[in-house]
Amino acid sequence: MDAALDYARQHADRFVEELKAWLRIPSISTDPDYAPQTRQAAEWLADNLRAIGIAKVEVMDTGSADTPGHPIVYAEHHVSDDAPTVLVYGHYDVQPPDPLELWDQDPFEPVVKDGNLVARGSADDKGQAFMHVKAAESYLQSGMDLPVNLKMMIEGEEESGSVNLAPFIEENKDLLAADVVLVSDTALFAPGVPSIAYGLRGLAYVEVELTGPGKDLHSGVYGGGVENPINALARMIADLHDEDHHITVEGFYDNVRDLTDEEREAYKALPFDQEAWMEEAGVTKTKSEKGYSVLEGTTGRPTLDVNGIWGGYTGKGAKTVLPSKATAKISCRLVPDQSPGEITEKLRKHFEAHVPDTMTLDFRDLHGGHGAIVDTSAPAMQAAAEAMEGVFGQRPHFTREGGSIPVVADFKRILGLDTVLMGFGLDSDSIHSPNEKFGLDRFHQGIEAGVRFLDAYAKQKTA
């Protein structure tokens, strides 16, 4: 392993230059106009994997002829039938960079500023996925073989809901057979404070539209005689929480796995700087579900948030309109064992039951995904803890995170595999936002942790 670690340190600057080249390709998966560039990013990665000496590399198509998906980069390097197999998952697609005017630079022209690589995708997830490519290179190009059989599946649709991924996994069970999945697409607890995530939240995303009058009306001529859909939707939304910040949808909490006493103790032991967190968020007061701390509320409890709301006149100046329609995008972060399908149906029932008799309702299911909790005592988790300790000189905390990576539940359900979430982002990386960044220190720590994880896991499994 030492030769691989030396190699990684010697080639650190070149690794960054390569990552920059990948970041220049705008692989925005949600925008069909960028489909060619999204494929180009897949091909770029495949070429890089071939160049470092991975035996088998393929760019595999997804979806159907009618509705093609973005390709999956699959790579495999078999060393021995006796060695365990690690499947690395990541994504090469990125969120749209909008709003462009809030960036200090071109989002697809990476710049190093104050030790951070600034570009769309630098932290989420090209920079983190690439760490494992460079960890593999550090073994293969320093005259050693990999300590494990390595498989990699880097997809291009994570930011658009991974619609073709579960079917791909179903169809390629043998190809993807492994002992454990390794993912770097989450965050460190804080700078210099190593952590391994054992929990992720799920997601249920819907759109709700109320229609009142058949067309926009003059609010002076008709106001007072017809109900306004924006007023009505605002009231329905306001009623979704009670004064304890509980969600009022019937049965919403039915399958929520409560935080255990051990978990709540562990939360208290985390070095959480709430003042700094508030400053980062730009708030002077926090709001969490009654009885739960901010950290518990943002990672271990379900939520409901309106993501957007519109209707009527939103341009400059005043227009006395009584609108025909009001629409809102609403999403819930879920925790195990809530099911996105069931929550969506409960939301549908709730809205149907509360829609005023002056309105019609159109309720649309956009997408969803399951949350996940992995067993921290699994051998792979302990190997990850050892790897993190090797890099940071201290044991990592096991944490739950508030974001969602729905494929983690699919790995368990379809392949029976646990996932190790060894992420190197920071909450302050501005993922999905302007000026997304990834600390170069964390990029190099992640490569080293990748090298150390493969070694520790191989030793565990053969011990």
Stretch in the footprint of Mn ion (CB under 5 A) among 31-39, 124-132, 198-206, 245-253: 124-132
Could you tell me where the beta strands, DSSP code E, fall in 184-324? 195-200, 202-211, 217-218, 303-311, 321-322
User: How many chain residues touch ligand BES (CB under 6 A)?
Assistant: 15
Smallest separation, CB 450 to ligand BES (Å): 17
Nearer to ligand BES, 157 or 448 (CB): 157
88 near ligand BES (CB under 6 A):
no
Q: Give dist(CA 202, CA 196) in Å, integer.
A: 18
Smallest separation, CB 163 to ligand BES (Å): 10
> Would residue 158 show up in a list of annotated catalytic residues for this protein?
yes
Which residue among 176, 405, 422, 458 contacts ligand BES (CB under 6 A)? 405
Element (H, E) at 439: strand 437-439
Residues between 351 and 380 with contacts to ligand BES, criterion CB under 6 A: 369
Smallest separation, CB 128 to ligand BES (Å): 8
404 near ligand BES (CB under 6 A):
yes
Q: Is 345 exposed, middle or buried (0-12, 13-18, 19+ CB in 10 A)?
A: middle
Q: Which two tokens stand for residue 459?
A: 């030793």
> Would residue 289 show up in a list of annotated catalytic residues for this protein?
no
- The mark string for 184-203 relative to Mn ion (x by CB under 5 A, - otherwise) is -x------------------
Pairing of strands 325-334, 202-211: antiparallel
Q: Give just the sign of the alpha carbon dihedral 378, 163, 257, 189.
A: positive
403 near ligand BES (CB under 6 A):
yes
CB crowding 156-179: b at 16 or more within 10 Å, else e: bbbbbbbebbbebbeebeebbebb
Cβ–Cβ < 8 Å for 9, 32: no
Q: What is the CA radius of gyration of the chain?
A: 24
Nearer to ligand BES, 159 or 386 (CB): 159
- For residue 279, how far is the Cα from the chain centroid? 23
Smallest separation, CB 461 to ligand BES (Å): 27
403 binds, among ligand BES, Mn ion, none (CB under 5 to 8 A by kind): ligand BES
Query: Whose CA is closest to 337, among 302, 368, 367, 311?
Result: 302
Smallest separation, CB 333 to Mn ion (Å): 14
124 near ligand BES (CB under 6 A):
yes
Nearer to ligand BES, 147 or 403 (CB): 403
Residues between 278 and 297 with contacts to ligand BES, criterion CB under 6 A: none
Q: Give dist(CA 75, CA 58) in Å, integer.
A: 6
Active site residues: 93, 158
Q: What is the contact surface with ligand BES in residues (CB under 6 A)?
A: 124-125, 158-159, 161, 185-187, 203, 369, 401, 403-406
